[in-house]
Each structure stands twice: as C-alpha cells, then as structure tokens.
C-alpha cells in the first residue's frame, strides 16, 4: 500500500539549526519545504526551497499571499504535517540603545511571523492533525545583558505556544523547544578562535558539553511524531542542564 507523503515547512533553514532540521526531516521521509531570507545553501537536500523575507510576510499582504500560494502548490492536497518556526533575528542592545525599528524587526520575525504562518496554514495543518513546533530559547526564561529585545520575543513566543495550544485544542498540536547554546558555525565564530573560552562554556553546562543541532532536529522529529499526541502546549527545555545550575561568583 502506498504511504501518503508527509510535508514539513521549515523557516530559517539556511542557518546551522535550520540546516540540521532540513537534514533530519528529509532523512525521516518528509517532503521538506525549506525557506530563508538567504539563498539556498550549497548541498542542502530538500524537495523545495523558497527564498522569502518573513518581515515582509508579516507586513505585506500581497507578498504573504504569494508565499502561501507557493507553499500550497507544493503541498497540494496532502496537507501540512509539520510547521517549524525556526527563523529568528538577534539584535543586541540594552534599554538605552534599542530603537523602534530594532523592536519591530525582532517582533516581526521572532513572534508575528510564527503566528501568521500558523494561522494561514491552519486548514492544511488541521486536515492531517499536524504539528507546529516553535524554536524558542532559554532566553524565554533566563537571559543576560543586551538581550532585552531577543529575550522578550522568545518569552512571548513560548507564551504564545501555550496560548495557541489552548485556543486550537485538538485541531493542531503546538509545542516549543527552548535550546541553550547550540554548537553551530556561527556560535564557534563568535569565540574568535578562543578555544579556552569555548571549553569554559561547555564545561559550565552540567552535561559537560553544549547542544548539537542534529540532536535538536531529532527532538523536533520526535515531537512531531504520531506517538506524541499528548504533547501539546509544552515548552521543552534543551539546555544540557544549565538552567538548573546556580552560579555563585568566586
């Protein structure tokens, strides 16, 4: 008997976590529709790729309609089994420096785009009892200086995950993953070739290491699976135990 195709839409797919999600869901047999504001990375194995700007999807109705139409052309009558709202921007700055545009850009991509994508694809998601997975952050509950816009957007995303689960009930499952540091090329580059400082970060985690993008993808695949029908409105911590650690300055 022919098994129906399962479709997965992943935003922010050109980044380290996004590429791992694309690899993972493709390997799990999904027809992956990847999207990012950047061009398709070389070697990415996905069925479809759409270069699109989430801030325009949030603010420009015609642009958004064109994007939704393109996705529906790929999905056809198969339904959308998984929507992963992974894309995010991180504008650093404190209360004294953040301006209106910083806030608008952050909220457009990190919070409003996940809402409007979920709302727009509800018919496709509901038709197959689909799953929405929002990639939130440890910053939703624990943060540090100069992350006020990013942390606020992620706290709101985790809160919206829970509220959407209540609002949608049994129609579509909605969950979030809240990762701490993930070992991507971007993170490694941020240590400016300082292996000692990177080792300190790894050692500070009770697990003795930081998360891997492919591990996060495995978690997302598990959350999306049919065997997780009771997992709904959850914000799953993925942080190597660091959120349980009390820091005492020496």
Catalytic site positions = 150
Structural contact between residues 79 and 9, judged by C-beta atoms closer than 8 angstroms: no
Structural contact between residues 162 and 150, judged by C-beta atoms closer than 8 angstroms: no
Q: How many angstroms separate the CA atoms of 82 and 133, rounded?
A: 7
| Six token digits for residue 146 | 């100069």
Residue tagged 């706290």 (tokens)? 155
Task: Phi first, then psi: give them for residue 18, nearest 5 degrees.
Answer: -60, -45
- The residues, any chain, with a CB within 8 Å of residue 245's CB and separated by 6 or more, are 204, 205, 206
The HSE-up count of residue 24 (CA atoms within 13 Å, CB side) is: 25
Q: How far is CA 130 from CA 8, 123, 163, 225, in A?
A: 10, 10, 17, 9
| Six token digits for residue 163 | 């509220």
Closest CA to 91 of 78, 81, 104: 104
Structural contact between residues 52 and 66, judged by C-beta atoms closer than 8 angstroms: no
Exposed e or buried b for every residue in 162-183, given b needs 16+ CB within 10 A? bebbeebeeebbbbbbbbbbbb
């Amino acid at each position: 008997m022919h098994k129906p195709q399962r479709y997965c839409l992943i935003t922010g797919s050109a980044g380290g976590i996004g590429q791992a999600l694309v690899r993972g869901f493709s390997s799990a047999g999904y027809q992956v529709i990847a999207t990012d504001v950047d061009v398709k990375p070389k070697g990415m194995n996905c069925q479809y790729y759409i270069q699109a700007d989430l801030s325009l999807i949030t603010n420009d109705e015609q642009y958004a309609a064109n994007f939704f139409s393109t996705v529906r052309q790929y999905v056809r009558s198969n339904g959308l089994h998984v929507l992963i709202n992974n894309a995010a921007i991180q504008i650093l700055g404190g209360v004294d420096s953040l301006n209106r545009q910083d806030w608008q850009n952050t909220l457009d991509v990190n919070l409003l785009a996940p809402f409007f994508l979920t709302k727009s694809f509800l018919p496709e998601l509901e038709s197959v009892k689909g799953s929405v997975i929002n990639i939130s952050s440890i910053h939703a509950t624990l943060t540090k200086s100069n992350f006020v816009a990013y942390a606020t957007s992620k706290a709101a995303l985790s809160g919206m995950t829970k509220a959407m689960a209540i609002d949608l009930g049994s129609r579509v499952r909605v969950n979030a993953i809240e990762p701490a540091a993930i070992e991507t090329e971007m993170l490694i580059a941020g240590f400016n070739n300082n292996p000692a400082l990177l080792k300190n970060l790894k050692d500070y985690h009770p697990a003795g290491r930081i998360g891997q993008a492919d591990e996060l993808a495995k978690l997302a695949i598990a959350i999306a699976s049919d065997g997780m029908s009771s997992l709904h409105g959850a914000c799953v911590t993925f942080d190597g135990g660091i959120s349980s650690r009390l820091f005492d300055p020496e």
